[in-house]
């Protein structure tokens, strides 16, 4: 029987390939139908509220009922929603259907992440999460890249292909497999230094994941309007998003080569500052190469913040389902907030305003992280026995 881990990596790749296809197709179709910045923001945000709520629930359910049973609901709901979106050109209906999409993803991701991490600690956990990160980023890369090309030629097929991929995911999750096992070399190198206690690493990483996803999602949700305004073709638009995820993949692989970031937070703060500059660059750019540079930086920062959040969470928490649910909830809340902020700014101020609003919001979240760490470390020092003696 196949190793369960490899099936989980495969379905992670396929799920985000389908997600990229659906998100791109829905957003581009709405933009070409004349959707306003506010409508595009709602379209990018509506599915994330049920996703955040269901993530908090499904992770805990999978701790009790089993990972497979809960995860199987995901491709059923998302597949049905994808087929429904293929049949409509009504923007308001597209917005409503994406809520079902988010519900399905909420059933899928926390159980799968917890399933991958079950029984792993230290470098074993780090290695599994790196492979997981590589898998889902390859999925996004392929999904955005191929869907932009397909949408330009056969718009309807851009919905039917993700629906077929979701059906394949359901089949793969049902395949009998041996329990998840690491490679022998990974098991031998499983020891690693622990995350420093009492220094706010997990909370900082949650906020970083929230802030970066807020900014990146806000930019991505509103960019279809700017792309159509500048006559950027769908395949070029899809290519920008694909290369952004390629950068995230590269960052995740690079993080596997070092444990330096396991015990230091300043690199995470520096990376987010680069994300602030990248979002602002989209607000002033007019040439494809400038958009490309900005999207690549945002992708790399997104890969770092995501990996920091998921690693610090699952390293510290024993209830893997609950931990993965919290991690995904912060991600979803960021992705929910970003499109709403960007859409509102676009409606109230103008075409370029959303990108500066997203950059400013991320800067504020960075300052909040620094404040949380300072307060957390003061509390930790005050509670240590030697300080009370």
- Indicate if the pLDDT at residue 214 is higher than 90: yes
Whether the Cβ atoms of residue 328 and residue 55 lie closer than 8 Å to each other: yes
Whether the Cβ atoms of residue 358 and residue 347 lie closer than 8 Å to each other: no
- Choose between 63 and 45: higher pLDDT: 63
Q: Name the DSSP class of 196.
A: P
| Count of residues in the chain | 389
Question: Exposed, middle or buried by CB within 10 Å (0-12, 13-18, 19+), for 228?
Answer: middle
Output the pLDDT for position 191.
43
Question: Per-residue confidence at 384, pLDDT binned at 50, 70, 90?
Answer: low
| Domain-wise residue ranges, the chain | 4-388
Distance between CA atoms of residues 89 and 26, nearest Å: 9
- Indicate if the pLDDT at residue 361 is higher than 90: yes
The distance in angstroms from the start CA to the end CA of the chain is 58
pLDDT tens, 136-165? 888 888 887 788 778 778 777 888 989 999
- Indicate if the pLDDT at residue 42 is higher than 80: no
pLDDT tens, 287-332? 888 999 999 999 999 999 988 998 888 877 777 788 888 888 898 8
Question: Exposed, middle or buried by CB within 10 Å (0-12, 13-18, 19+), for 286?
Answer: exposed
Output the pLDDT for position 388.
44
Output the pLDDT for position 184.
52
For 16-42, the DSSP string reads HHHHHHHHHHHHHHHHHTT--HHHHHH
pLDDT tens, 55-79? 889 988 888 888 899 999 999 999 9
- Indicate if the pLDDT at residue 81 is higher than 60: yes
Output the pLDDT for position 277.
96
Tell me the fold of 4-388: Growth Hormone; Chain: A; (1.20.1250)
Whether the Cβ atoms of residue 240 and residue 281 lie closer than 8 Å to each other: no
The dihedral of CA 202, 204, 210, 212: what is its sign?
A: negative
Distance between CA atoms of residues 275 and 273, nearest Å: 5
């Amino acid at each position: 029987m196949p190793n369960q881990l490899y099936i989980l990596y495969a379905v992670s790749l396929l799920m985000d390939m389908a997600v990229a296809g659906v998100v791109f197709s829905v957003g581009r179709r709405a933009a070409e139908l004349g959707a306003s910045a506010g409508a595009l923001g709602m379209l990018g945000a509506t599915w994330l509220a049920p996703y955040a709520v269901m993530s908090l629930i499904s992770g805990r359910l999978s701790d009790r009922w089993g990972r497979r049973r809960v995860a199987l609901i995901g491709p059923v709901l998302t597949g049905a929603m994808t087929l429904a979106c293929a049949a409509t050109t009504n923007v308001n209906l597209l917005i409503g259907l994406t809520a079902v999409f988010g519900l399905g993803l909420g059933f899928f991701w926390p159980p799968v992440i917890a399933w991958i991490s079950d029984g792993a600690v230290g470098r074993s956990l780090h290695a599994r999460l790196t492979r997981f990160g590589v898998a889902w980023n390859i999925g996004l890369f392929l999904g955005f890249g191929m869907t932009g090309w397909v949408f330009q030629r056969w718009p309807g097929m851009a919905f039917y292909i993700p629906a077929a991929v979701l059906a394949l995911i359901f089949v793969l999750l049902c395949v009998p497999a041996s329990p998840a096992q690491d490679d022998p070399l990974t098991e031998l190198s499983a020891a690693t230094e622990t995350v420093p206690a009492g220094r706010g690493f997990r909370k900082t990483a949650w906020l970083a994941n929230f802030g970066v996803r807020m900014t990146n999602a806000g930019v991505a949700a509103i960019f279809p309007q700017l792309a159509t305004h500048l006559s950027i073709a769908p395949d070029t638009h899809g290519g920008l998003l694909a290369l952004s995820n390629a950068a995230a993949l590269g960052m995740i692989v690079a993080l596997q080569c070092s444990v330096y970031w396991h015990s230091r937070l300043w690199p995470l703060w520096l990376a987010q500052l680069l994300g602030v500059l990248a979002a602002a660059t989209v607000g002033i750019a007019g040439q494809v190469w400038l958009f490309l540079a900005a999207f690549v930086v945002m992708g790399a920062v997104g890969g770092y913040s995501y990996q920091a959040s998921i690693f610090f969470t699952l390293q510290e928490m024993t209830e893997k389902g609950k931990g993965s649910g919290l991690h995904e909830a912060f991600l979803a809340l960021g992705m929910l907030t970003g499109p709403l902020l960007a859409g509102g700014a676009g409606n109230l101020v103008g075409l370029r305003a959303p990108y500066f609003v997203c950059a400013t919001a991320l800067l504020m979240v960075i300052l909040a992280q620094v404040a949380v760490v300072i307060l957390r470390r003061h509390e930790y020092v005050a509670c240590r026995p030697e300080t009370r003696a």
